[in-house]
Amino acid sequence: MAIAKAERLMNLALCLMNTRRPLSKKELRESVEAYREAWQQGSEDAFNRMFERDKDDLRELGLIIDVDENALDGEVGYLARRDRNRLPEIALDAEEAAALALAARVWQQAKMSGAASGALQKLRAAGVPFAEEREHGALEPRIPGREAAFEPLLTAARDRRPVTFDYRKAGAATAGPRSVEPWALECWRGHWYLAGYDRDRGSARVFRLSRITGKVRSRAGAFTGEVPEHVDVRAVVARFAGEGATAVATVKVRSGAAYPVRQRALETRPVDADWDELDIPYGNGLGADLAEYGPDVIVIGPEDLRADVIDRLRAVAGLAEVSQ
């Protein structure tokens, strides 16, 4: 079956590329044997479904198919012009090829793995000198992209489509609706973040994908806010996480827990077998971040940070008691 489909796609591509004028579906049906057999043994609908699937598959493979609505006395015509489907010679040196291969391998455990593998296959067919798999190092980067919101947000950011979703802020027990114009996604310290324009708040915001609940829904219409030329998601997230802050907080962290907090530590001092004391940068949003670790992190100082974390934990505990 796979060979038959590949042959059918090849024949359709040859018909579309080796004609000077658009061809109607009837002409293509007579030119491709598999279409003619499907029409004779089945029906017009069976042929139409097969043709539409094949046309979409060819476009997915990169073939540009032009559609002329009035090419043949009102009939729709199809044509793949050679000048639009002729790629320039691909010339990459070994270092550039290695960088592309590394970027593709990063996505192998994410939802983009199919597109990444397909891109590498096309480049190999064009003669790009990729190194053999056995030459790869034992340690390689991976981007999991497990959040359900990842793929629809990536697509919406690419297509410039507004979205809506329910979002639970750090330290909050319930989620609230957000209407966002997505700009860019970035992975930072093991978490995916979305930067975009929050329509309800009228300003740029950053959202952690793991805090998005329910489905991401696309909305019609154009962006209302100006999209910056460069979106530095990491810098915005770092600012809200306390990175680059001038103040310093002291916290106790349970052994074997809260590794993201440990990564920020300016200094670590063992307290006993169960606890370590850390000095970490203190900035906006740190209280909400620390509250997520519950009993594994205890704030020693400053007092305003300690009070902030305690208030957040009490609020969550109170909501939990009400729900029970």
pLDDT in tens, 10-29: 888 888 888 888 888 888 88
Q: Are residues 278 and 294 in the same domain?
A: yes
- Find the CATH number of the domain harbouring 233: 2.30.30
Q: Are residues 14 and 106 in the same domain?
A: yes
CA 276 to chain centre: 36
109: left (phi over 0), alpha (psi -120 to 50) or beta: alpha
Residue 228, domain extent: 149-240
Q: Are residues 209 and 268 in the same domain?
A: no
pLDDT in tens, 182-230: 988 887 766 788 888 999 888 888 888 888 988 999 888 888 878 777 7
Q: Are residues 179 and 106 in the same domain?
A: no
Burial class (CB in 10 A: 0-12, 13-18, 19+), 104: buried
Pairing of strands 212-218, 247-254: unpaired
pLDDT in tens, 237-288: 665 544 456 688 899 999 888 888 888 888 999 999 899 999 988 776 677 7
Predicted TM-score (pTM) of the model is 0.45
